[in-house]
Homo-oligomer: A and B are copies of this chain.
Amino acid sequence: MKLQIEELRSEYDKNQDRYIAELGEFLSIPSISTDPKYLSDCQRCAAWLSAHLEKLGFKSEILETTGKPVVLAKRVGKPGSTRVLFYGHYDVQPVDPITGWASDPFKAELRGAPNDPNRRIFARGAQDNKGQLFYFVKAAETLIQKGALDLDLTLLIEGEEESGSRGLSASLDAWQGRLEADALLVCDTGTLQAGLPAITMGLRGIAAMTVTVKGPAKDLHSGVHGGVARNPATELCRLVASLHDNQGRIAVPGYYDEVTEPSKTARDLANKFPLTAEQYQALTGAPPLGGELGLTPAERRGFRPTIEINGIHSGYGGPGGKTIIPAEAFIKISCRLVVGQDPQRALDRIKKHLVANTPAGVQISFSEERAEGIAVALDPDSNLARRAASCLKLIDGVDPLFIWEGASIPVVAELAKVSGAEPLMVGFGLEEDNIHAPNESFALSQFRAGYLYSAMILQELGS
């Protein structure tokens, strides 16, 4: 018997206090994955979550990896059921600068009166991703209790998303048999504003590296050697300039060769993203004038690859001047990739281009190469996208946005591949949640929307 949206609303409202209290317990464990000194907290967090899921009726295991443990919890439906794989992560970002926090990051604090529409829970992980995975867990709990969960549901909750998902990645092939699914649900995304749901239709792939240009053995006097020795900083700037043409297009030979063009439907949906140039400027302090001429910001973000300079450093940077030719210069670059592009091939093409353009007198080298992940795209005409949209509309009667985020969650592409499932990315995070920053929080109204959507989509996908 399926539960209707009204029943779910009343079930949520009846239980919200308990849900938030349980979430507070989950948030109290400082499961920071990037810092080795929190290893036992991460293990404790996995154990807490696994025990919690057992109580709800899942058969849960803690799987060791080369890194932090993974919680794998299954609830098997009747034979032939649709198989749904849900992905989330229990690890959180570090809390520094700790002085920026108004309350203890590991002691959840509710702010706002019960009837305040912007009532929020503050803690590290309140949204990313403990809060978002927990509304899904609570929705599953409700369906289990009411006998309305009519599918095979597997929860895969890892503990290293904030530090590269390496343990999970390395284990995926070995676990393939346990992860095969018909749909992959991911809730680690967001939307534009409260009350306006969104389906994330695409994530870009990512690759990154460090490029170093070396010249003289040590910094040289810019008077004695200026005009004699080549300047590595100048040469590196010239190489960076060679990466794009005057139209903002990437000038690395072959870079666009495997780029898949979006369908007309996808392009039209992406262009419905309701952010004007003025709003973008207000949000970021800069106008949306980057990337390729002749494409809209939404098209550039969703469907086009980039090469961005994340940092460049060489020589003197303090007050006043220091008249040197620096011995070396380096850039940190990262590439966002679209469907069809291979991360390592993209890096190789850039390397080949840079080597070919490096003049005699300086040496170029490459390090910290990371071919991190391929792009993911959901077909807007797919059955899965349509069913998700209909569920989202039920929450507040508002049609969802279709967002091509531009960002990357490399493990999603890997999970899609190993599970054989189409990924469905719906999350309820907002910019103002301050994830990865001090005073992270999550609005209870968004937690509730996530709960309602999760319950609806699980019933929709069930038989």
The residue of chain B having its C-beta at the shortest distance from the C-beta of A244 within the complex is B234
Contact between chains at A322 and B310 (CB < 8 Å): yes
Which A positions have Cβ atoms within 8 angstroms of B? 204, 206, 208, 210, 215-218, 220-231, 233-234, 236-238, 240-244, 280, 284-292, 297, 300-301, 304, 306, 308-317, 319-327, 329-332, 334, 336, 359-362, 368, 370, 405-408
Contact between chains at B286 and A362 (CB < 8 Å): yes
Within the assembled complex, what's the spacing in Å between the Cα atoms of A142 and B388?
A: 99
Contacts of A300 in B (CB 8 A): 227-228
Contact between chains at A336 and B226 (CB < 8 Å): yes
Contacts of A231 in B (CB 8 A): 290, 308-309
Contact between chains at B206 and A223 (CB < 8 Å): yes
Counting from the closest, the 7 A-B pairs by CB-CB distance are: A217-B285, A223-B407, A289-B361, A311-B315, A227-B291, A241-B241, A237-B240
Within the assembled complex, what's the spacing in Å between the Cα atoms of A405 and B304?
A: 51
The residue of chain B having its C-beta at the shortest distance from the C-beta of A361 within the complex is B289
Contact residue among B225, B312, B326, B330 (Cβ-Cβ distance under 8 Å from A406): B225
Within the assembled complex, what's the spacing in Å between the Cα atoms of A360 and B310?
A: 20
Contact between chains at A216 and B284 (CB < 8 Å): yes
The residue of chain B having its C-beta at the shortest distance from the C-beta of A359 within the complex is B289
> Given A310-B321, A317-B332, 17 more contacts at CB 8 Å?
A208-B323, A216-B285, A222-B334, A224-B406, A227-B297, A228-B406, A230-B286, A233-B310, A234-B243, A237-B238, A237-B309, A241-B241, A286-B361, A289-B360, A308-B325, A312-B313, A313-B314
Contact between chains at A233 and B312 (CB < 8 Å): yes
Contacts of A286 in B (CB 8 A): 215-217, 220, 229-230, 361-362
Contact residue among B230, B309, B330 (Cβ-Cβ distance under 8 Å from A234): B309
Contacts of A326 in B (CB 8 A): 309-311
Contact between chains at B206 and A368 (CB < 8 Å): no
Contact between chains at A312 and B237 (CB < 8 Å): yes
Residue from the set A206, A208, A332 with the largest chain B CB neighbour count within 10 Å = A332
Number of identical protomers: 2
Contact between chains at B309 and A229 (CB < 8 Å): no
Contacts of A289 in B (CB 8 A): 229-230, 359-361
Contact between chains at A370 and B223 (CB < 8 Å): no
Least CB distance, A371 to chain B, in whole angstroms: 12
Contacts of A236 in B (CB 8 A): 237
Within the assembled complex, what's the spacing in Å between the Cα atoms of A309 and B326?
A: 8
Within the assembled complex, what's the spacing in Å between the Cα atoms of A326 and B332?
A: 11
Least CB distance, A434 to chain B, in whole angstroms: 12
Contact residue among B284, B292, B304, B332 (Cβ-Cβ distance under 8 Å from A321): B332
Least CB distance, A300 to chain B, in whole angstroms: 4
Within the assembled complex, what's the spacing in Å between the Cα atoms of A405 and B227?
A: 12
Known contacts A227-B306, A286-B215; A321 and B361 CB within 8 A of each other: no
Contact residue among B238, B304, B359, B360 (Cβ-Cβ distance under 8 Å from A241): B238
Within the assembled complex, what's the spacing in Å between the Cα atoms of A359 and B334?
A: 22
Contact between chains at A229 and B284 (CB < 8 Å): yes
Within the assembled complex, what's the spacing in Å between the Cα atoms of A225 and B289?
A: 11
A-B contact pairs, 19 of them (CB 8 A): A206-B223, A215-B286, A221-B407, A223-B405, A225-B284, A227-B297, A227-B406, A229-B284, A230-B286, A230-B289, A234-B309, A237-B237, A237-B312, A241-B241, A289-B359, A290-B361, A311-B326, A312-B313, A313-B317
Contact residue among B224, B330, B336 (Cβ-Cβ distance under 8 Å from A222): B336
Within the assembled complex, what's the spacing in Å between the Cα atoms of A378 and B322?
A: 27
Least CB distance, A404 to chain B, in whole angstroms: 10
Within the assembled complex, what's the spacing in Å between the Cα atoms of A287 and B214?
A: 12
Contact residue among B217, B301, B315, B336 (Cβ-Cβ distance under 8 Å from A284): B217
Contacts of A319 in B (CB 8 A): 368
The residue of chain B having its C-beta at the shortest distance from the C-beta of A316 within the complex is B311
Known contacts A217-B286, A223-B206, A228-B291; A321 and B334 CB within 8 A of each other: yes
